[in-house]
Amino acid sequence: MTARPELSILYPVFDEARNVAPLLEHTKEWAPRVAASFEVIVVDDGSRDGSAEAVARACRDDPRVRIVRHDRNRGYGAALRTGLRAARGRLIFFTDADLQFDLRELEGLLGHAERFDVVAGYRAERRDPWPRRVLALGWGAIVRTVFDLHVRDIDCAFKVFRREVIDAIEIESIGAFVNTEILLRAEREGFRIHQVPVSHRPRRHGRQSGARPRVILRALLELARFWRELRREPADAGAAPVAAPPAGPAGS
């Protein structure tokens, strides 16, 4: 494809061999219903379970789907950053490849993308194991306290960005802090954020890595680095907070 597609769909992948093939088949079947033209970008972050090979089989002879491979596991933020840089769409959507979200709900986010620069999903009922939910509550409290960012589900991997947002910000995080960094940088540039409830399902295959001590430590270190960056800026730098209030009823 040479023309800019209307929608870029991005999947960061690490050891999701059992999930990625059905995900891509569903994407190719469903995406034409919401976008006149689209591309699918899979970033394989050094998977060791054959995920890249599964993607190659699923996207064979389909030029709308392409894979970008990291030679080693660099981190969730690094995979997301690679995919965002590679995306060419007027709108850019990303979600995880673990089948915990219903892709059909993207249509609801796209309905707000003409009026808002970032449309962020939040899990109306989070279906992760309770330790993950406790960690998420603690992380959200830290981010709200340190940065005054009033986004209800910061790390929900179901977001749509207008092209201008990704072009305007420089993403530095390579770990789990990346969602927070993107939202903070977008807010400080004056982009408007809208929040929409989405469904969430339990993971059926593969293992979650977000609760590993190494992942948590990296996120905290990146949070501290970003906080120091903000402290070095002039007092009047940045835009006023512009996050729109969450839609729908309160939840976790």
Distance (Å) of CA 242 to CA 3, 59, 151, 165, 245: 33, 39, 10, 14, 9
Q: What is the mean pLDDT of residues 70-98?
A: 96
The Cα 94–Cα 12 span in angstroms is: 8
Report pLDDT digits (tens) over 180-191: 999 999 999 999
Q: Which pTM value belongs to this model?
A: 0.87
- Supply 109's token pair: 């986010």
Question: How many residues make up the chain in this entry?
Answer: 252
Report pLDDT digits (tens) over 162-203: 999 999 999 999 999 999 999 999 999 999 999 999 999 888
Q: Is the model more confident about 236 or about 151?
A: 151
pLDDT at 81: 96
The Cα 191–Cα 27 span in angstroms is: 28
Q: What are phi and psi of 187, to 5 degrees?
A: -60, -40
Alpha helices (H) in the chain, listed in sequence order: 17-30, 51-58, 76-86, 106-110, 130-147, 163-168, 178-188, 213-232
Domain 7-246 in CATH 1.10.3720.10? The answer is: no
Contacts of 225 (CB under 8 A, 6+ apart): 172
The Cα 155–Cα 55 span in angstroms is: 25
Task: Give the mean pLDDT of the chain.
Answer: 88
Domain assignments of the chain as residue spans, ordered by start: 7-246
Residue 237 has pLDDT above 60, yes or no: no
